[in-house]
């Protein structure tokens, strides 16, 4: 229970407190930004200790703060849900096996996300810059996923999976065909 309360305190309560205390000295149109993780919405085995619940609360508080701080201080409040990055905090999460949680998650992420590329901190930094800049003056209350599209995946089967055949029939039959998704026969 103590680790759960510590996670909520560190991740969510501190965010609300910080916006409340510093919102009044920020310039109107300024921006506050927090960092979240996909575990707020999906089950990520090994990512526990209350952090998944704390991140869900952080994202909910971001939406409420967008309204309250927007009305009171004229500032924007957003969150970024970053993909897996090899950070000190992520490295501390144990997997119970030989490979650390973050190393196995980075590997899984690179193999199964729509954009199969390695994430780095600059990806998150560029998104943060955009959200804090005048390019996003009408954006508040959002949680922007910066994760190579992994958040939109419902099934992450291999590319040779029959479930992917509607997109690329060559995977299912091994033959070159010219079918569009609209022409794939239904069962």
Indicate the angle between helix axes 14-22 and 51-73, nearest 10 degrees. Answer: 20
Catalytic residue among 55, 79, 81, 113: 55
3-state SS, 26-80, equals: CCCCCEEEEEECHHHCCCCCCCCCCHHHHHHHHHHHHHHHHHHHHHHHCCEEEEE
SS3 82: strand
- Pick from 89, 86, 80, 88: nearest CA to 102: 86
> % helix / strand / coil in the chain, to the nearest 5?
50, 10, 40
Q: Quick check: is 55 catalytic?
A: yes
Give the strand pairing for 143-146 and 31-36.
unpaired
Catalytic site includes residue 160: no
The DSSP H or E segment spanning 144 is: strand 143-146
Q: Are 146 and 85 in contact (CB under 8 A)?
A: no
What residues are labeled active site? 12, 55
């Amino acid at each position: 229970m103590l680790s759960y309360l510590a996670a909520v305190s560190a991740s969510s309560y501190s965010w609300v407190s910080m916006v409340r205390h510093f919102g009044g000295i920020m310039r109107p149109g300024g921006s506050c930004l927090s960092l979240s993780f996909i575990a707020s919405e999906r089950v990520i085995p090994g990512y526990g200790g209350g952090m998944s619940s704390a991140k869900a609360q952080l994202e909910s508080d971001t939406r409420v703060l967008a309204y309250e701080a927007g009305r009171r201080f004229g500032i924007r409040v957003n969150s970024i849900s970053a993909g897996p990055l090899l950070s000190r905090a992520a490295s501390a999460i144990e997997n119970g096996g030989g490979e650390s949680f973050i190393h196995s998650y980075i590997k899984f992420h690179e193999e199964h996300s729509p954009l199969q590329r390695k994430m780095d901190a600059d990806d998150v930094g560029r998104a943060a810059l955009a959200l804090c800049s005048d390019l996003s003056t009408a954006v508040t209350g959002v949680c922007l996923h910066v994760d190579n599209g992994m958040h939109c995946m419902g099934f992450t089967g291999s590319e040779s999976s029959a479930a992917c055949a509607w997109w690329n029939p060559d995977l299912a039959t091994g033959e070159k065909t010219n079918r569009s998704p609209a022409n794939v026969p239904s069962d």
